[in-house]
Amino acid sequence: MVLSQARVKRGVSGPAGVPLWTDSRPDMSRRPALPGSTSADVAIVGAGFTGLWTAYYLLQQDPDLKVVLLEREYAGFGASGRNGGWCSAIFPVSLERVRKLYSHHAALELQKAMNATVAEVGRVASAESFDCDFSPAGFVSLARSAAQLARARATVSGTEAFGVQGQWQLLDKEEAQARIHADGVLGALFTPHCALLDPDKLVRSLASWLEKHGARIFEDTAVTDFGKGFVRTERGTVDAKVVVRATEAFTPQFAAYRRHVAPLYSLVVATEPLPEELRRRLRLDSRMAFNDMRNLRIYAHPTADGRLVFGGRGAPYHFGSKVSSVFDVDAQIHSKIIDTMCEFFPELNGVGITHRWGGPLGVPRDWFPSIGYDRDAGMAWAGPYVGDGVATSNLAGRILRNLITGRGDELNDLPVVNHNSPRWEVEPLRWVGVNAGLRAATVADLEERLTGRPSRVSALLEKLTGAH
């Protein structure tokens, strides 16, 4: 990430590490813990979006199912309540990589399903009267350098040639600045397949719906082990016909899955509510998601109450796949994110920052999410999503419903179903490799800044990982 080094005074009025979304909760009381051993038809380990959506669609299909969700902290504690509020059709692996691994048809069907998933989240929110600030205004990716503009043009032509018509629209400078009036804009990409939402409000709405329809959610209940027919906790054991692993970045904390997922941290800030006239001048009054086309991803959007949420990658991977609340705040990375925000919008230099937070997201070795079910073992799973899970977890919930209940559906043929990712290397190779990849993305942005051409380092990274 190429960052300006502007040094301005920035007061942080909110508690460090607490997401904007949960800080606005009217009630932070927790649900009771598991009171003792019990049984269920389906036991779900993890009460984030994957677990909640899976339970929602299972109970839609069969209201008589006994569904139990077990959560170490509280529903939405992980990435589901800490993300940047994008519900997008972005898939972390390029369509070309999907084609190479599966087929051209499979890649087209996957993108079609991802696009439809954004609409499906909105459909459910409307049908169930979920108050989650859902806003399907689309997503604009700004080109703010010659290299980024070249990549934008290549993205449109490549996607069209691949057969995904209308996925991206190329905007000229004036059209782009009419969407988001950031500094240095030369053009942009736009896609309608993205919505904004308040993730914690969606978590609370889903959890409330589930409890009204018979599901039991136990918080403050740490799972110590799970396998065929059981989930074990310090408070008792849940015997279940089906066990669903929905643990995302926390997966490596279970010994059997230590090398399945690498947790990477993404960090976010939120400003104080901005004056209406300033928001109108900067085009931050439209509830549109945006970023620019740098290699080390950033993401931003105006909230329903007039703030600007701005986040980015770049925090280091921690040895041994360690996850800790200590990593949710990193003064250096948060400062760089604020610098980048001010690089986009110099008029925000000195604006009040009310929240700084972060959290881990899960990354498989090939960056390819997996959703599956082993009927013989009674074990199902979904994720990780490489930071694009707000929408993909909904798709996962529908697929897991299908696989568990035996429901026929074209979604069951998508390449994510039973995809088998290779395992991460043992330490210290994992630590060296992951952090070298993060560093390479930063170097790629610097290379583009110096040369004005798309980065060769970035092209090599995409070739090695398939990520885009």
Domain CATH code at residue 93: 3.50.50.60
Q: What is the pLDDT of residue 459?
A: 67
pLDDT at 281: 97
Task: Tell me, yes or no, whether 307 lies in a domain.
Answer: no
Q: For residue 28, what are its two tokens?
A: 């932070």
Instruction: Report the largest interatomic distance among the alpha carbons of the chain, rounded to a whole angstrom.
Output: 63
292 assigned to some structural domain? no
Residue with tokens 């080109």: 143
Q: Phi and psi for 22 in degrees, rounded to 5?
A: -80, -25
Report the alpha-carbon distance of residue 115 to residue 110 in Å, rounded.
9
pLDDT band at 443 (very low <50, low <70, confident <90, very high): confident
Q: Is residue 299 part of a domain?
A: no
For the chain, the three-class secondary structure string (H helix, E strand, C coil) is CCCCCCCCCCCECCCCCCCHHHHCCCCCCCCCCCCCCEEEEEEEECCCHHHHHHHHHHHHHCCCCCEEEECCCCCCCCHHHCCCCEEECCCCECHHHHHHHCCHHHHHHHHHHHHHHHHHHHHHHHHCCCCCCCECCCEEEEECCHHHHHHHHHHHHHHHHHCCCCCCEEECHHHHHHHCCCCCCCEEEEECCEEECCHHHHHHHHHHHHHHCCCEEECCCCEEEEECCEEEECCEEEEEEEEEECCHHHHHHCHHHCCCCEEEEEEEEEECCCCHHHHHHCCCCCCCEEEECCCCCEEEEECCCCCEEEEECCCCCCHHHCCCHHHHCCHHHHHHHHHHHHHHCHHHCCCCEEEEEEEEEEECCCCCCEEEEECCCCEEEEECCCCCHHHHHHHHHHHHHHHHHCCCCHHHHCCCECCCCCCCCCCCHHHHHHHHHHHHHHHHHHHHHHHCCCCHHHHHHHHHHCEC
| Across 26-30, 246-250, 394-398, 460-464, least confident range | 460-464
Query: Is residue 243 one of the residues assigned to a domain?
Result: yes
Q: Tell which phi-psi region holds residue 130, choosing left (phi > 0), alpha (psi between -120 and 50) or beta.
A: beta
- The total number of structural domains that make up the chain: 1
Q: Does 355 map to a domain? A: no
pTM of the model: 0.94
**pLDDT for position 255:** 95
Report how far residue 199's alpha carbon sits from residue 423's, in angstroms, rounded to the nearest whole number.
30
Strand partners, 216: 68
Check residue 461 and give its pLDDT. 63
Strand duo 230-233 + 236-245: pairing? antiparallel
The rounded distance, in Å, linking the Cα atoms of 268 and 300 is 9
For 401, the token pair is 């419903």
Of the chain, the percentage scoring pLDDT greater than 90 comes to: 87
Rounded CA-CA distance 272/366 in Å is 38
- Establish if 188 belongs to a structural domain: no
The CA radius of gyration of the chain, in Å to the nearest whole number, is 21
What is the sign, positive or negative, of the torsion defined by CA atoms of 362, 364, 370, 372?
A: negative
Q: How far is CA 13 from CA 8, 16, 45, 375, in A?
A: 16, 9, 35, 50
| Number of residues that this document lists for the chain | 468
The domain in which residue 59 lies consists of 31-133+196-261+368-424
When the pLDDT of each residue in the chain is averaged and rounded to a whole number, the result is 94
Q: Are 201 and 132 contacting, i.e. CB atoms less than 8 angstroms apart?
A: yes
Q: How many other C-beta atoms are found inside a 10 Å radius of the C-beta of residue 429?
A: 10
| Structure confidence at residue 12 (pLDDT) | 54
The dihedral of CA 119, 121, 123, 125: what is its sign? negative
CB 460 within 8 A of CB 157: no
CA-CA distance, 134 to 404, in Å (whole number)? 29
pLDDT given at position 4:
35
* Residues 121-152: tens digit of each pLDDT: 999 999 999 999 999 999 999 999 999 999 99
Q: Cα 250 to chain center, whole Å?
A: 14
Phi-psi region for residue 261, left (φ > 0), alpha (ψ -120 to 50) or beta?
A: beta
pLDDT, tens digit, 9 for 90 and up, residues 227-275: 999 999 999 999 999 999 999 999 999 999 999 999 999 999 999 999 9
Does residue 166 belong to any structural domain of this protein?
Answer: no
Q: What is the pLDDT of residue 16?
A: 84
- How far, in Å, are 61, 137, 246, 270 from residue 324 at the CA level? 37, 35, 18, 21
pLDDT of 200 > 50? The answer is: yes
Decide if 246 is inside a domain.
yes
| Percent of the chain clearing pLDDT 70 (strictly above) | 94
